[in-house]
Each structure stands twice: as structure tokens, then as C-alpha cells.
Amino acid sequence: MSFNKNWNIDSYRTEYESEEHWQLRRRFMEVHKNKFPEDELVCLAQVFTNVEFMGCKYPDETMRLVGELSQDVAKERRTRRRRAPKVGATITEVESPAHFHTQIGKGGRRGSSWG
């Protein structure tokens, strides 16, 4: 299959895209530029970053393909993520329903226990 390989990857950078997201998506396109037509690779690269950064899910066949294509591209990032300490919300106090209703009665925001 023959397709145009002379296109500018950098033209796909978006103004709202973070540097980290762009560098990984750019790397994905650089590595696979000679394997896929431009429009298909651009889509695959977007799917890759959606999965990698936002945890999006796609049909099984798409997930398998992007998983295979991304192994070497994302290896360093995935290693860093595994080593990074887990950060998450911690609940330190549970308020009683009575407190919740008291706050609403005092003019607190509906649906919130903050008064």
C-alpha cells in the first residue's frame, strides 16, 4: 500500500494541548509515520493519548492495535507512573445526615454539607 509520507506532524499540535500530551502524541506519530496513511495515524495518535491520559475505552480491536503501537512509545511514561506515589482524596470526617439538614436550614447550599 502506497501513501503520502511527506506531511508535517507539527501541524497537528493544538493550542489547548499540554506539552506532555503533545510530546507523547507527536512521538507516536513519528514512530509510525511510515506505516499508516496520515489521516489514520492522526486518529490513532489521538486515541492513544485519550487512552493514556484520560482512560478512555474503545472497541477491542482498536484497543489492541493502539496497545501494540504504543508499547515502546509510552514505556518511559508508564514506568514513571508506576514508580510515582499514589495520590488520592482522603475522607477524614463523615458528617451525620442531621448536620447536613441543619446546614440547609441555616441557609447553606442545597446538596452540600458546607455552610
Name which of 77, 83, 86 is nearest 19 in CA terms. 77
Average of pLDDT values for 58-70?
A: 97
Cell of 91: 475522607
The answer to the question of residue 31 being in a domain is yes
Count how many domains the chain has: 1
pLDDT band with cut points at 50, 70 and 90 for residue 115: very low
Q: Is residue 4 domain-resident?
A: no
Structural domain harbouring 29: 9-88
How distant is the alpha carbon of residue 5 from its chain centre?
27
Would you say residue 64 lies in a domain? yes
- Confirm whether 66 is domain-assigned: yes
Residues 6+ apart with CB under 8 A from 11: none
pLDDT tens string 37-59: 999 999 999 999 999 999 999 99
Q: Give me the mean pLDDT over the 25-36 stretch.
A: 96
At residue 114, does pLDDT exceed 50?
no
Question: ∠ CA(100), CA(105), CA(111), 5° rounding?
Answer: 45
The pTM assigned to this predicted structure is: 0.68
